Each structure stands twice: as structure tokens, then as C-alpha cells.
Structure 1
Amino acid sequence: MGKGIKMHRGLTEEEAKRRLKKYGKNVIERKERVGALKIFISQFTSPLILLLVAAAILSLFVNYLQHESSLDSILILLIVFAAGVAGFIQDYKAEKAIEALQKMATPKARVIRNGKEIEIDSSEIVPGDLVVLEGGDVVPADAEIIEGYLEVDESPLTGESRSVKKGVGKKIFSGCGIYSGSAVAKVFATGMKTKIGEIAAKMQELKEGKTPFQKHMESFTRKIVGVSAAIVVITFAVSFGKFGLVESLLIAVSLAVAAVPEDLPAVITIALSLGARDMAKKNALVRRLAITESVGCVDVICTDKTGTITEGKMKVRNFWFLENTKEARKLADYCCFFCNNAKQIFKNGKKVWTGDETEIALKKFSMKLVKEGGEKIEEIPFTSERKMMTVAYKLKKKIIFSKGAPEVLLEKCSSYVGGGKLTRAVKQKILEKNKEFASKGYRILALAYKEYEKPLEKNLVFIGLVILSDPPRPEVKEAVKECRKAGIRVIMITGDNPMTARAVANEVGIQSAGIVTGDELDRMSAKELKNALEKGVNIFARTSPFHKLKILEILGKEHVVAMTGDGVNDSLALKKADVGIAMGIKGSEVAKEASDIILLDDNFASIRNAVKGGRRIFDNIRKFVNYLLTCNLAEVLVVLFATLYFPFIVLYPIQILWINLVTDGLPALALAVDPARPDIMRRKPRKREEGIIDKKLATIIGAIGAEKAAIILMTFFATLPLGVERARSVLFTSFIIYELMRIGVIR
């Protein structure tokens, strides 16, 4: 390789400087970030918060006029501030996806300039530069190999954890690691023009949508604000002539405090936080708090296969031979071991495997029976076009080993172990066996050898087939079944072949009206894809991450979609999905930062658990909204009636605030942690447009609130002959007792 490098001149320093000025630095740019102060201020712009602030200011003004304590105003403002701080913390640390993209860039790179190999900052690489790469490096910019050979880890882009062999003329991409080999590559794209840069630009364009829950809460808040404002204005107008300015303001403030559920923002935040904590215990780490509830209304889950539905660990299951002899088995072990570039290296003080997942499985299996040794003489690497790999080794004698796709390798073979000639009929028998194994979800490789002679890949001796598989996780079948009962559709999107995809889907219970491949997806219009989905196609094979976006765009119009992903290319789909779910073990940092939920165990069953947790949280939120609004409605009706009927104030703002914060708030928190109902995963997901308060709940709140107000007012009338102060105390106590009884009924 060294001699080859000396033949390259590369760019001159002057030309490199000119191009740096023209194309800019090799960095991922990002739009100007929103400052911390702006994020903090934005927390206080919701209508409910503004109403609370207005009530606090009015209360402060009235207390000032009456020379009384401002404790009620201070309490309201403390609640507002606490809610703002909690929201600020969540929002401030929510967006780090672009920073993760920047971290993928290598700080230093080796380039050839003026005929010399030098080390420069990777940010100074320009299009046309010749970069020198070898095992252990990270590709600093998009480039094309002009000399040499590399094994590249493209999982940061594709999510597929297998090495890709790259020779002259092949493209390599920024951020991808190199397992082995050495090469010179010519840079054709830097910075925002690289694949990673294009993804960064698209991510900056995508605005994070509001969850259905956030939209419902905003609508709910606007209604509360409208009703409260109307009640306050009417009451002030009615009472002004009766009580005068100061007293009328005090009554209006009392009603504002009674109408607004001050502790609702805090209780919802705590409920979501506790729900997120419970989900984390079950391996689903929530990154956006509002998603904690929203995952409960998911009705479609689009999931990867490898590592999510399956274990993600390729294993050798068996061999198949035309003649099952000791010689054939020994040669198969040797072929698996030597025709293999997987190896163990030390990383952070531990031994780890690097290389293609299939080769790692073959090496792990054969190393128990074959000892390391010998000398590699030649290698013809695997490529996606060749679909086979050949090595020549000097052991006791020179020997050639080959492995590859059965249909390709058999064309290079003329005989098989045992001395027989490989006729067309025998080849057909082998291919039929290969098809049989593949239909069951196995990955099949053919093995061959011969004593050393050139050409290396001619007149090989067929050894047999090695059968590998990545088995489904044992708990996934039950999880898929439970999702189906819960009205949730499971769609599998995989880069694997259709036969393997079908076999795995059948094993875990994913039913599908056919399979659509990536090539077919490319040719489909949006209408055709929609028709396929409506017919019940739930398996997509040989897909790329960008196919996920196409599927998501169709599904997202009518469904609440959860999408899984692990590669950099998946980040766009994760960002756009209603619920983006990244893999915690094999996922790239970019995918994790673009997601709403991170699966700590990469397990599909954990998605099911998250959905269950989300449904439970919504049920509990509905319970305490029912409880709080029933209480607040009763307070409003009592204060409103008393204002019109009595010449004095029946409840002071501080008393109402005490009822709302202490008597309402603490029991509401208890409702927030109620366990899930037994039928929670046996009912269909609620519709996207279904809010917290439906017609049935609104009727219940209205009826119970009015009944409660009537009973409490009767109690007040009964005790009024004992004096206003005593009657006021009884009224205050009645509210507390009735609300504690109400919580038991709701449960």
C-alpha cells in the first residue's frame, strides 16, 4: 500500500485553501439555537398559566387595598413558577440530535497533499482531497475508493450491523467506522453535502409536532379560560352595584380562583413523570414527557426485525452435506474459520468481536474445533455483486477456501466431498434444499475448498451448506398477540429478504396479506401504497430507512404511529413519527437523540409495555380531571349563588385556594398512581381526536358538581343561624369531607 500512496500527488496546499474558501469547512452546521431565557419565558405563555398570573395580580391588588396578607397571591405565583421550571428543564434538554451528528465527525484525518501524507483537522478536508484510511479509522467525509480495500461498518447509516466490503470505485460515507483494510479515497462531498449533512439539514426543517395530548390540553385550557373569564366579568358586573369596587374585585378573584384548577398543571406533570419512571423500569426510557401518555393511543407499530423481534445474534444451527462424513464436517469447520475476517480486539480493556455478524457467528462456532495458525496468502473479498469470498492459506499445505451464496458458489464447483461429480441434477438438489431452509427463516451459505491452484475460483469442491439463524425473542409472540387484542396493528419493516421476513413474521404471529419489497415500494405511488396497507400488507422486506418515511407519510394521515429505528438514516422517520422509538443497545446516538422513547433492551415486548403504561396514565389523568373539575364546578356554583343571594363573601380566596391545592391536589396525586385496569389491553386505542373530557364525562362532571353544590349550600343555610363565621367554617369543612368521599367513588 505504501508504494501505491507515493504515486498520488493529491491537491496542492494553495488549491486546498481555495476549495476550503469555496466549499466551506467539513462540519455539520446547525441553525441558531433558542436561548435558555427564551425557552424559560415560553413556559409562561399558555392560557391557563396566564389566567393564574392574572388571578394572582388581581388578588395582590385587592389585598393591598384591604391591607391584608398576600399569601394567596404568593401561593399561586409559586405554583406558576414551579410549573415553569419543570417545563424549562424538559424543553432545554430535549433537542441534541444535531450535536450527536457533529460528534460523529473525526477530529483528525490523514490526507495526501503535494505528494506527501500529512495529518490535518477533519474540518479542513475539501472535495478532491485524497484521504488515507485503515482499520480503526472513522471516515471523515464522503469519498470514493481509488486504491485498496476496506471492510466498513455502515450501521450508523443503515442500522444493519454487518460489515460491508468496499473496493476500488465504491463509495464510503462520513461517520462510518472501518473494521479492517487500508485504502486511499477521493473526497467528493464534505460538511452539509455529505449523507449525514443532508440528514442534518432535513432534521432542522422538521418541526416537532404537538402530541394529541398536548393539543387536547390546549383546547381544554382555552375552554376553562373562556368560561372563567365570562363568570368573573358577569359576577363583577352584578356585584359592583351591591358591594362596590374593592369587594366586587375580591369576589371576582374568589371566583377566578374557584374556577381555575390551579394544581392541574402540577398534577399532570407529576403523573407523566411517575409514568415515565415506571416505563423506564420496564426498559422504555421516555425522552419527551408528553409522549408518556401519547404512546397509549398508538394504533400502529412499525418495527424492525433484527434485534427487536429477533434476538439480534446470528448463530450456527447446523450443517447439511450431500454425504455426511467426518471429512466433510472437518472441512466445513476449517472453511468457516479461515474464510473469515471476523476477529477479537481489545476495546476499553475488554475483548470484543468486530466484523460481519454472520462471520462472527461462523468464527465463534468453528474456533472451538479449529486452532489459529497458518498464513493467508491471497484473498478475493466478498462484494454485493460477487456474493462470495475466497482465501488461500498456507497450512500444512496450501489450500483454498470459499464461501458464499449457494446459487453463485455452485457455479464455481465441479465436484463434492466424497468424490462425486457435481452434475446439474445434484446442483438442483442442493438449491432445492437451500430454498427449503430459507423458507423457514434461515440464512444459508455454501462452503467449498480445493488444493491451491490458479485460478482460485474454478473447479472448487463443494463441502456443504451452513445453516444460520437469528431466532425470534421468546416473549415477542405473546406481545404481538396482546397488541392485536388491544387493537394495535404490527407492521414489520426489514432489510432482510422476503422469505426470511415471512418466516419470522409467521413465527411471532404477524399476519400479512402479502409482502412488499423495497424495489416495489420505489415503483409504487402514494395511492398504491395506501391500497396495499388497507388490504393488510404488514411485511416490508429489502427496505432502506427512507422507505420507512414513505410508509409513515401514508399511515400518519389516519393513524397514531410508533416507529422503531437504530441508524442515522432512521432519524428522519423517528422524528416525524407520532412516537419515535430508538434502540438503546445497537442504536446510533443520532437515532437516540431524534427519538421520543429509547428501548433499553431493544425488545419489542418493551413497546407493548410502554403502550400499556401510556393507556394507564391517560385513564388516571381522566380520573383526576373528573375529580378536580367536579370539585371546582361545585366551588364556582356555591360562590356564584352566594354572591347573588348574600350581602357578604361566603368563602375567601385563601380558603378556596386551600381547598384547590391541599384538599384537591393531594388526592388527585393518589389517583395519578392508580394501577392499570384489568381490561386495559383488551380495548381498542382511543381516537386521535378523543380528548380527556368526552360527552359522557362532561355530563357526569356537570351533574355531580351541581348536586355537590346544592348539598353544600343546604348545609350552609342550615348553619347560618349560628353566625356567618361558623357557617363559613362549616361550608369550608363540608367541601373537604365531600371531596374525600368523591375520590372513593371515582376509584
Structure 2
Amino acid sequence: MSTTSIAPATTFETSHSQSAVEVLSILGSDARLGLTESEVKQRQDIYGPNALTDRPAVPLWRQFVAQLQEIVVGLLLVAAVIAALLGEWIDTGAILAIVVLNSVLGVFQQRKAERALGALQKLSAPTAKVFRDGQLCNVAARDLVPGDRIEVEAGDHVPADARLVDGFGLQSSEAALTGESTPIDKDPSAVLAPETPLGDRRNMLFQGSVIATGKAGAVVVATGMETELGRIAQLLARQNTEQTPLQRRLAALGRGLVLLCVALVGIIFALQLARGGQFLETLHLAVSLAVAAIPEGLPAAVTITLAVGLERLVRRNAIIRKLASVETLGSVNVICSDKTGTLTRNEMTVREVHTSATGYAVSGAGYGPTGEFSSLRTARSIAPENQPDLLRALEVAAWCNHARVVPASDASDRWHVVGDPTEAALVVLARKAGLESSSRGELLHEIPFDSDRKAMSVVVAPPNRPRLICLKGAPEVVLDKCIEIQRNGQTAPFTAADRRQLLEIADEMAARALRVLAVAYREDVDATKGVEVERDLVFAGFVGMIDPPRDEVRVAVAHCRSAGIRPIMITGDHPSTALAIARELGIAREDQKAITGRELDQLSDDRLAAQLAKVAVFARVTAEHKLRLVRLLRSQGNIVAMTGDGVNDAPAVKASDIGIAMGMTGTDVTKEASTMVLADDNFATIVNAVEEGRGIFDNIQKFIHYLLAGNAGKIIFMFVAAVLGWPNPLLAVQLLWLNLVTDGLPALGLGVEPPERGTMDHQPRAASAPLIDWRQGLLLLAHGGLSALSALAGFWIVYQGDAAKLADSRVVAFCILAFAQLSYSLSCRSWHVPLLTLGFASNPTLLAAIGVSFVLQIGIVLVPFLHPVFGIEAYPTGSEWLVIVGLSCVPMFCVELSKLFFGRRDAGHEKRMELTRSRSLPTPEEGGIPNDEQPETVANEMAKNSSF
């Protein structure tokens, strides 16, 4: 055979639309002999190894340099250079230490974040059974080539994408690849339409999936990066790591500070020169003031605040892998969630059993054999042992079965499945009624499941009972094989009316997204008659099962709604199943429908974007569809969290603002691509994490407000003094010291403030919202002005135009600016709650920070040998200490009084606005916005921009 007959990759992509004979012919392979060793060697030279390629690792030095490219860090480096030129080595050392610490922490986090493609390779099977020169042998999976004839059986990992050639009773578990919660029935003889979705290609096997039952032969059609798993790897590799909203906001703040510094240097320098100041002295003062305008403690405060928030999140079972993403949680307004294993338990569970005349509800979830039976008609609990028809249906289901359910090896309450999950659900059902599948006796004969027959049967010989055939399968197939029906412990003729009634019950169950199996039996059978034994059966009942929602998710979804977060389900599962789960959880309303992947392919980006706001469920979607949806949502200005556990979720998880992986059931691929891992696989943990994220952002805003208000106070103080023609009220070294002693530690104390109540009662902030908007900018200027006025008042009270008192007035102003900012930090703990309500001791970290900074400032003033270093030429007198203490408290008192006054006014206004809003807004029936999608009220907006 010649390698020139090998088909191009485009043919491989349509293998499902060709017969097995056609695919073998195109690939130049033989269904019985496979390829020769020489052909394999030639093809390996063309296609390379059957492995997923990785991007080259970024060198450590480049990662470190990347950390220095953030604008705030660059501004600090410029400040360090200027401080060094001015001879201020203490400030220079402090700034450089902050920069190095921040960069090291950033590199450390990044080194752990880029292993996704390496984890993908773990899903590749290490060996494969393949025909070479007509002989079946084991080879390394990486040595497979297109055209290789392979064999797979139950328990095998599929080593490459392959077209089925033959097989019997084959089912493949593709949950990690497609999101389908149950194994897929495979049919080698099927020839499908070219546009058939990935999850419906029942004549194909895909790398990364696992054979659940049966045995088959297949021909490899794609290897390495050409497989469906390889496509996901390529999608993952193309996702560049983007800046978080916090990083973008800090960059914008840094640009503003650069412009401010340049303007300050120019204005102060011009004013001082106009007053006759010396050039070098004036330049020294102007540059020092510009350096003082830069909040040196900002990067360290942000990093430590995020790290503290990370530790809080760990205690709430959320593990953040990228430090800068901690704050992003608070901005999330859309959560795109996979269904299987995220919203549901990924454990098939029987919900209902229907016999000839009675329906039973079954409680319990998952594979734990605990649960009760109750009548669907009366909702009363029943004892299964008193229900002969129910017991017979459960016996048949348990005996027609090969699965086992065993407890986990650890001390947890989890159970593991050995075999098909659907069959395991039947085993658990029987155990809930006190039946064991092991009691069926000897297995005499089996007819495995076949996708054409849609049924499976066994012939068993129970102890001391007649041997019987037990059959399970699709309702219509099983009913066609029945001539009798189990009723009240006896058998009766199976009429046409019985058939119509039972099919209606099965259709109604299926409409509620239950997977329906029928079970039937017959006693005194001859096990030697093969398929012919599957006739003249007795109908025993229907079993309805589902992958149930997690108990806590419904409450979590409700919390998302109240917090202004919109949940969307994006899954590879069947539309009806997905929609039923979404409605049960409150994600979708009864009038909403699901959009399928096939429908997505027919929509342009513009048309899809227009529908995104109206659709809550996207089903039968591929990895590419999920990625497209996440990108469109982000392009509309949303902050998107994407949850998932399977390989097919990984590209969308990485492309989202917050990628969330399941820690217990998630694949390594998804975990490595994510920014957050849920240690308990609990959707409710996401809501807890969002609450922490909002609290962290509030804290960052608080200490940035504190830092900039303090720096604004110094600038205003110096500017007004220059305008009034006073002598320099502070020396350059004193300005730099104030920036160092008042900025760092108190900002860190504000960063660990616990989240305030009500953080989840308002809408998420917009992605474009700055750290400091114009209202907050005016407010921090006003607060800084209070400190400046206090210092100006203190300076003039002592100075009063007497040059002999200049040294005394400088030390008084020096202390007022320091102590006013330290006391003001207490008021920065909350935007609107008074300090007396919060309690002085409720943030001991902040109190300790204020105490240390206070001691350092007192030491500068009172320790004699430090006076020459900081230009201090006098000690404050007793009366001057009274002035210092009194004026230092003015900013804090003013802010606290404004909280009390404006807080009462806003509370009254909020009540009036809410009353007006409730009377004026149209109801959903009148054409208004649904209650769960109403925009934020004006009152809430006012509360966010309150008097603080």
C-alpha cells in the first residue's frame, strides 16, 4: 500500500459521514491485516507522533520582567530613581523592596498557572492494541498513525480518533469530551450526515474517552493535534492570558498619577521660583512633592489584600490559582455553568418506578444505597416488601445487570461505580428496597445490548426458583415483546389499552427529562434458543432516572439572582434534559427554550449576541461553541465566570474572566486552565467566593481612597502655603517620610477589613467602572482638604508670620499631617457605617498598624539624634501638643458626622424611591422586565455612592 493514498485531514473530519469500507479504502488500510511496518514508518514521518504538543515555556527572567511592566510598578521605579538622586536612601530602599516583593509574588503565582496542555496528555492512553502485518500487538499510543486498525474493549482508553469497523454492545463514556452524562451507544454500520454534532457521532470513537461496555474494532482517522482532543488543545493554546479588571483599573489609576505628578512638578516649581526661591532647592521640593503624590504602599497593599482574601476563600473551599483574580470575583455578573458534574451530581439516580397501576417516587441521590419509596398519587411512604409488583420490577432490573457499586476507599460517604452508570443506578434502586443483585443465582445466558435492538437480556437461575429471562430496554421495544402484564402479584393479558396507557406514561416521564427503561421477564425459559427467548414476556414496569441537580444549587442560583448575577447553562447534554434541570434549578423560566449547537452554527455573531440576553440554556454544544459564547458575552462588557469539569470545558474556562473548575470530579486539564478550583464541587461555593470578591474590592477601594486622600492633603497643604506666600512649611525629607509612615501599614490594615453586610444585595459593578470615579475623586479631595486645613491652621497658630517660630510651626504641621491621616484611617473602614457602630476594636490589625505608625512618628519628633536626618529643629511644647491632638482629630470627626447626617437622609430617600418604583414600574405581564432581571434601583446606586 502506498502512502500517496492517504486522505487529507478534511476527509478525516467527515469520516462519520462515510461507511467503514470507504474510510478504510481512503486511508489505504485493511480491516483484517491493518498496516505494514514500512507503511507505519512512512506515515509517522508525515503525521508525527500521536501526542499533544505544548507551547515553549516562558523563561523565568521574562516572567519577572513582565511583572515590572505594570504602570504603577514603573511609576514606583521612577520614584525610586528620583529619591536616589535626591539622596533619600531610606525611601529608595523601601520603594525597591516593595517592587521586588510584588514581582516575586506575581512570578510565583504565574509559574503554577500554565500546565493545561501537559495535563491534557494525561488523558492519552499509554498503549494501544493494533494490527500490524496481520498480527494483533500492543504498541505505544504515540506510535499510532492514521490507517492503523485498532481493537478496544470495556475499560480501555481510546488512543486516537477512529471510525468504527465492527463491534457489538459498544458504549463509550464521553462526558469529559462532550458533556454527555451517560455512555453513548455506538453503531459501526451507521452513516451520518456531515453536520452531525460531535456528541451524536455514534460510529466514531474519540481520543480521551473510555469504553464503558462491549468490544469493537476501528480504524484510526486522526492522531495528535488533529484529534478532537487536539483541537481543544489548540483552542486552549490560543487563549492568551488577559489582564484582570483590577489590573486594568490600576493601570488607569497609574496613568492618572503620572499626569498629576508632571503637573505638580511644573506648578510648584513655577510658584516657588516666582517667589524668589533658589533653583536647586525649589526643584528638590517640587520633585519631592511629586514623589509624595505616588502611593508607594499601593502595590504591596493590593498584593497582601488579595493574598488575605485568597486565604479566606480557601477556608470557604475556593482555591484561587491566580492572585490578581481574587478581586475579579466581585465583578462577575454572568456565570456560565456546565451541567454535568457542576449543577448536577454526575451520578445517575432513579427518581420514579411505574408498575402496571401504580407510580412510586424514590428518594435519595447518587450511588449511596439510602432512600425511601412513596406513592406518587398520595405522597405517602410505602414499604417495598408489601408491593409485589414493585419488588418484581426491581428484581428484574437488578438481575439484568453487570454493574457494581462499592464504597470509596477513603472515609468519605462517596460510592464508586464499576461498570455502566445506568446499570449502577438500577443496582442502587434494588438495594434501597433491600434487594441484592448477587442473589440472582447462576447466569446461564446473556444477549448484550445492541443499538439496533435497544435492549439487553440475561437468563438466570435463582436459588429454588424457576429460571427466567430478564430484559431491559427502550419502552417501545420491550412492550412489543410482551403478551402479559404484572398486576397485583399475578400476571394478566397485555391489552392494546394497556400498551397505549403505558406509552403515555413513558412519554410523560421522558418529557420531564427522565431516562426511561422498561423491564420485563418470563419464567421457565430455554437458555439455548438465543434471541428467540426474548418473546412472550411479562411487563414488569418502567424505571425513570436522571442525573439529579445538587441539593444546594437551587439556593445558590437564587442568591445569584438577588446579587444581580445571571446564571446560564452551557452543556453538551441533550436539550430536553438540560432544560428540565435548568427549570428545576431556577436558571430558566417555563417559557424559555434551549438553543442547540446546530442552531448556533446557523446564527451569525450579531444575531446570536442579540439573543444572548433571552436564552438561559445552550445544549448539545461543543468546546468551540462554549468558547464562542464566552467571548460574545465578554464582548458585551460582561465579567464572565465559566464553570466546568470536562476537557471540553477547558478552552472556555481559560477564556473567561474567572475560570472555575471542579476540584473533586474535574479533569486535570480544566483545573490547570482555571483561575479558581472548587474544593467541594459545590456551585454554592461560587456565591460565597463572589461575596468575598466584592468585599476584597471594597477594601481595595477603601485603602486607595485613604492613600490618595492622604497624599492629596499633603499636596493641598503645600500648594496653599505656596499661594499664600508662606515659607516652605515642610522640607522634602519630611514629605517623603510622611508618605512612608502613613501610607503602608494602615493601608494593609484596611485591606483585611471583613466584608460588610449587604455586599450581595446590589448589582455587580460595571467592567468599565474605574477604581475612583469622579464622585469619589471629589470626595477624597474634600477629605484630603480637611487634613490640609487642619495642618494649615496648626502651622499658622504657631507661626503667625514670625520667622523665629518657623521651626516650631513646621514640627506642629508635620505631626498634624501624620496623626490626622492615621486617625482618618479609622473612618475609612466603611463607606457609610459610623465608627461607633463598627466598634474601634473590630479590626485589631488596623489598630496595630496605627499604633506602630504612631510610635514611629513620635520617635522622629522626640529622639534627638534623628532630628538632623529629618530636618527637625524644635520640640513641641505642651500647648502645641494640644493643638496637634485637637486638629489631628478634625478630619475623622467631620467624616463621622457626615455619615450620621447623610446616612439618615439616604435611608429615608431609599424608602421613598422604593415605594415610587414599586408603584410605577410595569409588571412582567404588562411588558416590563422580569423581577429577576430588574436593573439596580436608584436608591441602591445612592447607597453605593453614599456620604463617605
- TM-score, normalised to structure 2's length? 0.72
- Check conservation: 1:161, 1:356, Cα contact below 8 A: no
Most deviating of 691-700 and 495-504: 495-504
User: Do structure 1's residue 650 and structure 2's residue 730 form an aligned pair?
Assistant: yes
Amino acid at match of 1:81: V
Report how many residues are paired: 734
State the match for 1:549 in structure 2.
627
CA distance in 1, matches of 2:230, 2:585: 38
CA distance in 1, matches of 2:716, 2:627: 52
Shift of 1:665: 2.1
Deviations 1:686-730 (A, max 9, x none): 222111111210110122222321221221233345744443332
State the match for 1:356 in structure 2.
420
Amino acid at match of 1:341: H
1:194-593 equivalence runs, <5 A: 194-236=227-269, 244=278, 246-322=280-356, 328-343=389-404, 352-367=416-431, 368-372=434-438, 373-375=441-443, 377-383=445-451, 387-393=454-460, 399-417=468-486, 418-440=490-512, 442-450=514-522, 451=525, 452=527, 453=529, 454-512=531-589, 513-518=591-596, 519-534=598-613, 536-558=614-636, 559-593=638-672
- Check conservation: 1:494, 1:501, Cα contact below 8 A: yes
User: Do structure 1's residue 87 and structure 2's residue 165 form an aligned pair?
Assistant: no
Amino acid at match of 1:370: E
User: Do structure 1's residue 190 and structure 2's residue 243 form an aligned pair?
Assistant: no
SS at structure 2 position matched to 1:687: coil
- Check conservation: 1:47, 1:222, Cα contact below 8 A: yes
Amino acid at match of 1:422: F
CA distance in 1, matches of 2:687, 2:601: 31
State the match for 1:19 in structure 2.
43
SS at structure 1 position matched to 2:237: helix
- Check conservation: 2:341, 2:645, Cα contact below 8 A: no
Match of 1:700 among 779, 785, 801: 779
Against the structure 1 CA distance between its residues 28 and 147, is the aligned structure 2 distance closer, same or farther, given a 3 Å change threshold? same
- Check conservation: 2:72, 2:250, Cα contact below 8 A: no
Shift of 1:57: 1.6
State the match for 1:61 in structure 2.
85
Against the structure 1 CA distance between its residues 136 and 306, is the aligned structure 2 distance closer, same or farther, given a 3 Å change threshold? closer
- Check conservation: 1:567, 1:591, Cα contact below 8 A: yes
Deviations 1:404-461 (A, max 9, x none): 2323432343332343333332122112222343455544321122335433544443
CA distance in 2, matches of 1:542, 1:431: 26
Larger Rg computed on CA atoms: 2
Shift of 1:229: 2.4
Against the structure 1 CA distance between its residues 546 and 337, is the aligned structure 2 distance closer, same or farther, given a 3 Å change threshold? farther
CA distance in 1, matches of 2:410, 2:125: 22
Match of 2:126 among 92, 104, 107: 107
CA distance in 2, matches of 1:346, 1:681: 39
CA distance in 1, matches of 2:655, 2:809: 58
SS at structure 1 position matched to 2:445: strand
Shift of 1:233: 4.2
CA distance in 2, matches of 1:220, 1:733: 29
Against the structure 1 CA distance between its residues 504 and 636, is the aligned structure 2 distance closer, same or farther, given a 3 Å change threshold? same
CA distance in 1, matches of 2:646, 2:216: 25
CA distance in 1, matches of 2:76, 2:467: 85
- Check conservation: 1:639, 1:651, Cα contact below 8 A: no
Match of 1:119 among 131, 138, 156: 138
CA distance in 2, matches of 1:109, 1:332: 41
Against the structure 1 CA distance between its residues 349 and 585, is the aligned structure 2 distance closer, same or farther, given a 3 Å change threshold? closer
Shift of 1:371: 4.5
Shift of 1:181: 4.2
User: Do structure 1's residue 152 and structure 2's residue 172 form an aligned pair?
Assistant: yes
Amino acid at match of 1:185: A
CA distance in 1, matches of 2:643, 2:454: 29
Deviations 1:512-560 (A, max 9, x none): 23212425444444455444444x3323445444443343344333222
Shift of 1:469: 4.2
State the match for 1:613 in structure 2.
692
SS at structure 2 position matched to 1:674: coil
CA distance in 2, matches of 1:449, 1:306: 33
Shift of 1:249: 4.5
Extract unaligned runs of 5+ from structure 1: 1-5, 64-68
Most deviating of 539-548 and 203-212: 539-548
CA distance in 2, matches of 1:545, 1:356: 25
Shift of 1:489: 1.9
CA distance in 2, matches of 1:298, 1:289: 16
SS at structure 2 position matched to 1:414: strand
CA distance in 2, matches of 1:661, 1:390: 80
State the match for 2:379 in structure 1.
none
Against the structure 1 CA distance between its residues 680 and 744, is the aligned structure 2 distance closer, same or farther, given a 3 Å change threshold? same
Deviations 1:162-213 (A, max 9, x none): 3334454632222223345444432111111111111111222222332322
- Check conservation: 1:406, 1:431, Cα contact below 8 A: yes
Extract unaligned runs of 5+ from structure 2: 1-29, 190-202, 359-385, 831-948
CA distance in 1, matches of 2:142, 2:319: 34
SS at structure 2 position matched to 1:381: strand
State the match for 2:751 in structure 1.
672
Higher RCO (CA < 8 A, seq sep 6+): 1
Identical positions, percent: 39
Match of 1:35 among 59, 64, 73: 59
- Check conservation: 1:110, 1:120, Cα contact below 8 A: yes
Most deviating of 76-85 and 330-339: 330-339
Shift of 1:272: 1.6
Against the structure 1 CA distance between its residues 152 and 660, is the aligned structure 2 distance closer, same or farther, given a 3 Å change threshold? farther
Deviations 1:327-386 (A, max 9, x none): 543432232223223235899799832333322121123254135242362333254x65
Deviations 1:664-692 (A, max 9, x none): 22222222222323222221122221111
Amino acid at match of 1:413: C
State the match for 1:66 in structure 2.
none
Deviations 1:615-659 (A, max 9, x none): 111222111111110001112233445567456571333x44443
Against the structure 1 CA distance between its residues 732 and 177, is the aligned structure 2 distance closer, same or farther, given a 3 Å change threshold? farther
CA distance in 2, matches of 1:59, 1:554: 47
Most deviating of 622-631 and 609-618: 609-618
CA distance in 2, matches of 1:349, 1:268: 40
Backbone CA RMSD of aligned residues:
3.0
Shift of 1:561: 2.2
SS at structure 2 position matched to 1:415: strand
CA distance in 1, matches of 2:216, 2:135: 15
State the match for 2:946 in structure 1.
none
Against the structure 1 CA distance between its residues 239 and 591, is the aligned structure 2 distance closer, same or farther, given a 3 Å change threshold? same
CA distance in 1, matches of 2:572, 2:239: 25
